[in-house]
Structure 1
Amino acid sequence: MEITSHTLLAFAILALIGAFFVIESLTGILSPAILVSLFLLGISLLAVRKAVEWVKNRKVYAKWRKPSAFDRNLVVIGAGSAGLVTAYIAAAIKAKVTLVEKHKMGGDCLNTGCVPSKALIRSAKLLSHMSRSKEFGIREAHADFDFAEVMERVQRVIKRVEPHDSVDRYTELGVDVIQGEAKITSPWTVEIKTAEGMQTLTTRNIVIATGARPFVPPIPGLAEIGYLTSDNIWDLRERPRRLLVLGGGPIGSEMAQTFSRLGSQVTQVERRPRLLIREDPEVSEMVNERFRSEGIKVLLEHKAKQFLMENGEKVLVVEDLQNGGVEVRIPFDAVLVAVGRAANLKGFGLEELEIPAGRTIETNKFLQTIYPNIYAAGDVAGPFQFTHTAAHQAWYVAINALFDPFKKFQADYSVIPWATFVDPEVARVGLNELEAKERNIPYEVTVYGIDDLDRAIADGEAHGMIKVLTVPKKDKILGVTIVGEHAGDLLAEYVVAMRHGIGLNKILDTIHIYPTLAEANKYVAGNWKRANAPAGLLRWSERFHSWRRGIKTKETRVSKTLPPVGEKYSR
């Protein structure tokens, strides 16, 4: 019979049942014999579990020859967020670590993702404020700009941030950085091809942090007509007059609004019924409403069918799924494909070592592959594709790789925040209503409308909301969604609260500076407090104060009507 964790659990339960049958009194539970038996049982279970792991490891490593000594404690493949942080931690605790990058240090985030996109979004937002000048009492504001100069500013921002992720910096930190192409040739060897030639390193552990790339769907005619992705859109120096954006997720939505504000005529095509499908419906509608007001043509439930050239211009043929699949033709000058990202799984040895991978590399709760000394982190491992979760995973793979079998930790995804940098900004941590319903988790909703917030009104940004899900009748936070100006910054208070078990009562009890956007966090806590006010205690309080005024009455009832959700908590 194969020994599994379920088998061990069954043995443990049987042993405990047998032990309790011989207990004649409650004091017998604490008898030395029972305590020693439980201790020995625990030791036995641990020993058997370790034995099972040893047998499995011996089997997976059977055909490989392990070196008697190693050049490195750790080799990290990929210098994006996950790889950089892994290497940094390893060097900080004095392990000998090599970081291999075949392209650019900093990975997607620095070169083609977070940094350039936020730089471009900032320029576009400045233009949007100028277009709203009358709202701020300014009769007219006009910006004379050149698209190429805006894109050059993006490159300057990248160059400004670049030293943070540079070879020089990580070399100074104690990391051996090699710019070349790595390939895992055994569980303990990595072959590296550089401009100078080939070298092979032996290592106790390997971390795969090869990231992801834009997914390009196999739509007929797309390759022939040419397309942009989040990898190469930064090479543009001439603004597309008509930009077609394929995809209604975070990247597609951010770029659709940004290029619209920069003067392109933007059409956004999404086959699903909503933008930002992972968010609650009212959140998607807030974003969609803003897009429409800014002149973006959003086509929901439209499926891309074919790209072609007609009368000398580029055309996308889509099926309108809302109207029985009727075909619609969309002429455009450039198309941005933003329908998701695919993990980089080819070319560095997964196939040769038969490491299982589907959409991402398969790992266990410790981020180990089928080879316990080979780990994966970041976009290539999933389940989230955020820079900050890649860095979060990096801590686990670094510590687990360098200290296993003495100590290792399970990756913790219980409090993962993220933001989509459209306007209004959307940020979330924990559950939203969609997920709570899918998982049958009971919840209570409290909402505060930011249109009521003094600072938001003064800033001309009186829109959006804070939506908090809590355990029914308790202040424990299950999740928070914020829509509005600086939503990602406002969310940080809830990330800390959820991470450290702080409830809405403590947020309500915390002083927030007036007037700031952060006051909204206190006001939503106030709304929760009123909705959960102790009605019975309030009735007694009213009777007490009536008595103190000298009014004699048999019973004074307090109204059970509570202020509407969204009303400001009294300052």
Structure 2
Amino acid sequence: MSRDTIRADLCIIGAGAAGLVTSAGAAMLNRKVVLFEAREMGGDCLNFGCVPSKAILSAAHAAHTVRAAAKLGVNAGEPKIDFAAVMDHVRKAIADIEPNDSQDRFEGLGVRVIREWAHFTAPDTVESDSVTVKAKRFVIASGTRARIPSIPGLDTLPYLTNETIWQLDALPRHLFILGAGPIGCELGQAFARLGSDVTLVEAGTALGAFEPDHVAVLREALAADGVRLIEGTGVERFSGEAGAITAHLAGGETINASHVLVAAGREPVTDTLGLEAAGIEADARGIVCDDRLRTANRRVYAAGDIAGKGALTHLAGWHGSVILRNLYFGVPTRQSSNPIPACVYTSPGLAQIGLTEAKAREQYGGKVSVTSWPFHDNDRAIAEGDTAGGVKLVLGKGGKLLGVHVAGARSDDIAALAAITMAKGGTVRDLTGPVLAYPTRGEAIKRAAGKHFEPVVFGPFAKAWAGLLSALH
């Protein structure tokens, strides 16, 4: 088959967040850009991840609000769930955002979009079914997919993943979820609040990358929602058929379910890329690249989940910015130079930036201190009748912000206050200065910071000094 040959400044494989940011920026700088995407424009986030999951979480939160309204004096009774309408809401959310990521928009920016699989055939050449592209620079942004563990019997069942669960047309009677990471916890709580029985099984510890005391707050909420969370136990095998599935746990317990969702982590999509032809290495995390995202082939960069630096949409967007800064602005930028928030959009939510207390003590030992403020001592949380969680700051020498952790309602927005401070290299003192509106949950982060200084500000020396000034005036 003959192929057209295209010469470009930049060739990108993958139209998720990283690929779209990079291609849009380069095109707006008048670079000739070719973008390959064989599946959906917008990648995992728009079609299978962030957008649909937050849409169904919003529906589930609305159902929970109705049930919990009585504690505020509003008796609304048990909500009636129209699951088909819920899924219509999910699909509408995707459709409303889709134009921003669409082929039409990017072609309007000047990007040549080719909806085919692409692979390297040489260090400076990529091919698809219809074209050969020779480019000065390449970006691999092919993303990740659900990792399917090798559990006997699983491959004989119609299991769900974060991609296929959005095809459901009826609410699962009993949803068994394999893996209690962010995906498992978010969807487990959502389906429980919508009316499914939910069992969540994690071989290790649920949300092991987050602060343990904050995860404990979420455990209580999941239990209150009817989610059965089993930790430290694996699944030995599955048996049964569609609608009647049995999970056989280590230790002998069996759990009967109608559906199985596999949420046991992610794996990089590298098998279709022809990496050997380009002299590019990959490992279990993804493409091997340096802190500026450059691979062993100096023409080629990796961005987004495939770069093995973390699997977050906003991190992928930042990677696109890093590549543009390095290639076209002459601003040497490392991808690790910005603090990256991680959030779990359950209720209560979890948010963190930087190191956990345990990781900080591993690295810095006795130089680490911790200060915190609970939401049960926050006037807005009290007024809302939702006081679960709080703010925790992990500090290093000189009050450096090593980690910021929030559990509770609107934790993601509260953490943003710290993200801005950390991005500017600020310390805990910088969190005490701004005047925040009252009453807001954001005050908790300022109160936690202020608590760190109480021994000095209100200590013996300060009292003596205040007494002296009082006597003089």
Q: How high is the TM-score relative to the length of structure 1?
A: 0.79
Asked whether the 8 Å contact 1:373–1:401 carries over to 2, the reply is no
Asked whether the 8 Å contact 1:189–1:200 carries over to 2, the reply is yes
The corresponding residue for 2:375 is 450
Aligned partner of residue 287 in structure 2, secondary structure: coil
Aligned partner of residue 319 in structure 2, secondary structure: helix
The corresponding residue for 1:348 is 273
Instruction: Say if 2:334 is the partner of 1:410.
Output: yes
The corresponding residue for 2:37 is 101
TM-superposed CA distance for 1:414, in Å, is 4.7
Rounded Cα–Cα distance in structure 2 between residues aligned with 1:377 and 1:439: 28
Larger mean Cα displacement after TM superposition, 309-318 or 223-232:
309-318
Instruction: Say if 2:232 is the partner of 1:301.
Output: yes
| 1:471-507 superposed Cα distances (whole Å, 9 cap, x missing partner) | 25x3332210000101001111100101112333332
| 1:18-69 superposed Cα distances (whole Å, 9 cap, x missing partner) | xxxxxxxxxxxxxxxxxxxxxxxxxxxxxxxxxxxxxxxxxxxxxxxxxxx9
- Cα 1:311–1:189 change in 2 (3 A) is closer
Rounded Cα–Cα distance in structure 2 between residues aligned with 1:176 and 1:311: 43
Say which of 87, 96, 102 aligns to 2:23: 87
Equivalent runs, 1:485-504 vs 2, <5 Å: 485-504=409-428
- Cα 1:462–1:191 change in 2 (3 A) is same
The corresponding residue for 1:529 is 453
Say which of 236, 253, 256 aligns to 2:188: 256
| 1:252-297 superposed Cα distances (whole Å, 9 cap, x missing partner) | 010110100010000110111x311011221121111111122111
The corresponding residue for 1:54 is none
| 1:305-324 superposed Cα distances (whole Å, 9 cap, x missing partner) | 000129993111111xxxxx
TM-superposed CA distance for 1:354, in Å, is 4.0
Asked whether the 8 Å contact 2:103–2:113 carries over to 1, the reply is yes
Asked whether the 8 Å contact 2:279–2:297 carries over to 1, the reply is no
TM-superposed CA distance for 1:383, in Å, is 1.4
Rounded Cα–Cα distance in structure 1 between residues aligned with 2:132 and 2:439: 60
The corresponding residue for 1:422 is 346
In structure 1, runs of 5+ residues without a counterpart are 1-68, 320-325, 550-571
Rounded Cα–Cα distance in structure 2 between residues aligned with 1:476 and 1:311: 53
Rounded Cα–Cα distance in structure 1 between residues aligned with 2:271 and 2:224: 43
Rounded Cα–Cα distance in structure 2 between residues aligned with 1:313 and 1:409: 53
TM-superposed CA distance for 1:355, in Å, is 1.7
The corresponding residue for 1:434 is 358
TM-superposed CA distance for 1:542, in Å, is 4.8
Aligned partner of residue 156 in structure 2, secondary structure: helix
Instruction: Say if 2:247 is the partner of 1:316.
Output: yes
TM-superposed CA distance for 1:201, in Å, is 1.8
Rounded Cα–Cα distance in structure 1 between residues aligned with 2:54 and 2:248: 31
The corresponding residue for 1:331 is 256
Equivalent runs, 1:64-463 vs 2, <5 Å: 71-193=7-129, 198-272=130-204, 274-309=205-240, 313-319=244-250, 326-359=251-284, 360-402=286-328, 408-441=332-365, 442-463=367-388
Say what the alpha-carbon RMSD is for the aligned residues. Answer: 2.0
Asked whether the 8 Å contact 1:100–1:181 carries over to 2, the reply is yes
- Cα 1:312–1:91 change in 2 (3 A) is closer
- Cα 1:251–1:531 change in 2 (3 A) is farther
TM-superposed CA distance for 1:543, in Å, is 3.8
TM-superposed CA distance for 1:541, in Å, is 2.3
| 1:341-392 superposed Cα distances (whole Å, 9 cap, x missing partner) | 1010011211333421111111122211111001111111121000011111
- Cα 1:204–1:70 change in 2 (3 A) is farther
Rounded Cα–Cα distance in structure 1 between residues aligned with 2:82 and 2:203: 34
Residue identity matched to 1:138: V
Rounded Cα–Cα distance in structure 2 between residues aligned with 1:112 and 1:312: 23
Aligned partner of residue 128 in structure 2, secondary structure: strand
Asked whether the 8 Å contact 1:180–1:192 carries over to 2, the reply is yes
Residue identity matched to 1:394: G
Residue identity matched to 1:465: G
Aligned partner of residue 439 in structure 1, secondary structure: helix
Number of aligned pairs? 467
The corresponding residue for 2:437 is 513
| 1:375-413 superposed Cα distances (whole Å, 9 cap, x missing partner) | 11111112100001111111222343457xx66433224
TM-superposed CA distance for 1:218, in Å, is 0.6
TM-superposed CA distance for 1:125, in Å, is 0.2
Residue identity matched to 2:361: K
TM-superposed CA distance for 1:545, in Å, is 5.8
Percent of counterpart pairs with the same letter? 35
The corresponding residue for 2:399 is 475
- Cα 1:83–1:227 change in 2 (3 A) is same
Larger mean Cα displacement after TM superposition, 132-141 or 410-419:
410-419
Rounded Cα–Cα distance in structure 1 between residues aligned with 2:259 and 2:107: 41
Residue identity matched to 1:143: P
Rounded Cα–Cα distance in structure 2 between residues aligned with 1:468 and 1:304: 36
Q: How high is the TM-score relative to the length of structure 2?
A: 0.94
The corresponding residue for 1:46 is none
- Cα 1:534–1:180 change in 2 (3 A) is same
Bigger radius of gyration, 1 or 2? 1
Asked whether the 8 Å contact 2:340–2:353 carries over to 1, the reply is yes
Aligned partner of residue 249 in structure 2, secondary structure: strand
Residue identity matched to 2:356: N
Rounded Cα–Cα distance in structure 2 between residues aligned with 1:397 and 1:377: 8
Rounded Cα–Cα distance in structure 2 between residues aligned with 1:509 and 1:76: 44
Aligned partner of residue 283 in structure 2, secondary structure: coil
Rounded Cα–Cα distance in structure 2 between residues aligned with 1:117 and 1:546: 59
Aligned partner of residue 492 in structure 1, secondary structure: helix
Rounded Cα–Cα distance in structure 1 between residues aligned with 2:88 and 2:124: 44
Residue identity matched to 2:182: P
Asked whether the 8 Å contact 2:242–2:259 carries over to 1, the reply is no
The corresponding residue for 1:65 is none
- Cα 1:401–1:501 change in 2 (3 A) is closer
